Amino acid sequence: MLVNGNAHKVGAHIDTDAIIPARFLVTTDTKVLGSNCMEGLEPGWVKRVHQNDIMVAGENFGCGSSREHAPIAILGAGIPVVVAKSFARIFYRNGFNMGLVLLEVGNDIDKFSDGDKLEVDTEAGSIKNFTTGETIICAKVPPFMQELLDAGGLVPYVRKRLAEKKQ
């Protein structure tokens, strides 16, 4: 998967209530959740985002509750990839289950700034920063997780597998 977009940098320890506050959890509609993405951090944040932009976060991104709405809201905002220093464990699994690409880069996160032009290549395990000219190497998405992403998340993956067994 190759994604080109602008970096939208957020801080460390961003919890799921900042990503999508509880008052917006009255729906599972991706577009509605996306229109309220990051409202708990900064009202109107999502208005700066364009399709295929990339969220860049500090450590422990997605901490807090285990709500699946958080990765859905990020996807609904048009962001297919989050690059972070580290992720909260439950958010990490929920992200892949919902079809959101998550890449950990450790301390290399400091090499990104808000607004940088980025290209993320999940197959190569690289993030090119066209603003600075640097390329960051990160772990490739594991094959099984890539299968989940290619299917669009866990539910479509399971549906596909069940359909294959019926044939």
Domain range annotation of the chain: 2-141
Q: How far is CA 34 from CA 86, 135, 159, in A?
A: 22, 29, 25
Would you tell me which CATH number, out of the four given (3.40.50.720, 3.10.110.10, 3.20.19.10, 3.10.310.40), belongs to the domain 2-141?
3.20.19.10
- Residue 66 has a pLDDT of 84
What is the torsional sign of CA 131, 133, 137, 141? positive
SS3 115: coil
Q: Print pLDDT tens along the chain (167 aa).
A: 899 999 999 999 999 999 999 999 999 899 999 999 999 999 999 999 999 999 999 999 999 988 899 999 999 999 999 999 999 999 999 999 999 999 999 999 999 999 999 999 998 999 999 999 999 999 888 888 899 999 999 999 999 999 998 87
- Residue 77 has a pLDDT of 98
**pTM of structure:** 0.94
